Amino acid sequence: MILTVTLNTALDITYRVRSLRPHASHRVSEVTERPGGKGVNVARVLAALGHEVTVTGFTGGATGRVVQERLASVPGVVDALVPITGATRRTIAVVDDRSGDTTQLNEPGPTVTPTEWSAFQEAYEHLLTSASAVALCGSLPPGVPVGAYAGLVRTARSAGIPVLLDTSGEPLRRGVAARPDIIKPNADELAELTGSHEPLRATQDARRRGARAVVTSLGAEGLLAASPEGRWRAAPPTLVRGNPTGAGDSAVAGLLSGLVEHLPWPDRLARATALSAATVQAPVAGEFDRGVYEEWLGRVTVTGEVSAA
């Protein structure tokens, strides 16, 4: 079982409009709702790839009940969310059909009490006993300590479970020091962590700070990876336009599935890049166009070098 952690779960709402204009009223042509948050999106993609996945994090209020109701209908995903008093947040994505651009509005999330945080930590330790890998994803809701991910990384490592961390800012900086197996920042998040805007130099610096492997998302240009086994660049065959929401989460799913399947790094990166592109072509986060994925999987270009033994 792969465990995904989403401390700031959400109900993802996507509106489609013909053309988004400031200071104007808009007629919405389509509305979709999905259980969301980065780890939930990762879990949905992992399940679609055939893996058994358990989702944990927090859920509360009427929005939280909707998230759990929708999650129950996702094949292959087990709900182990921890109840809290506060209401689960919503995220709003507005897709402009004319330009293809997406505008994202993210609520901060509910305040988590110390008692609720302790209950989650107990649940997390129990879930790790049957996990083959864990992904720690997304922002921290109010009330959760800024060093929360560092503690969760250490707990997973103590249990011998490989852990992937996908967050940003101070939670990422502290989490890296706990020595996760993989981190997956985008280029801006990596620059904020290291102070370097040159991706290759920044990935090397992030490894020196504690991450065993670093995979950086370069947006439409693909992925850059540095690990003890070598350094690689994975690039899609052509530019893909669409809704980028969730593309990074699909890349995480590709990396994590490749890890538990013991794939070599070039194959992991090709899968992650193809899944990311296929998600841009899908209408909502946490889904991917399987036809695009299967077509592109063999067309992703992976170049690099293997480290000397």
d(CA 67, CA 34): 7
With a CB cutoff of 8 Å and minimum separation 6, the contacts of 174 are: 146, 147, 149, 150
d(CA 121, CA 3): 14
Residue of 237, 239, 243 whose CA lies nearest to 280: 243
CB 132 within 8 A of CB 156: no
List the catalytic residues.
Answer: 249
Name the residue type at position 16: R
d(CA 27, CA 29): 6
Residue of 80, 36, 35, 26 whose CA lies nearest to 57: 80
CB 257 within 8 A of CB 52: no
d(CA 103, CA 133): 33
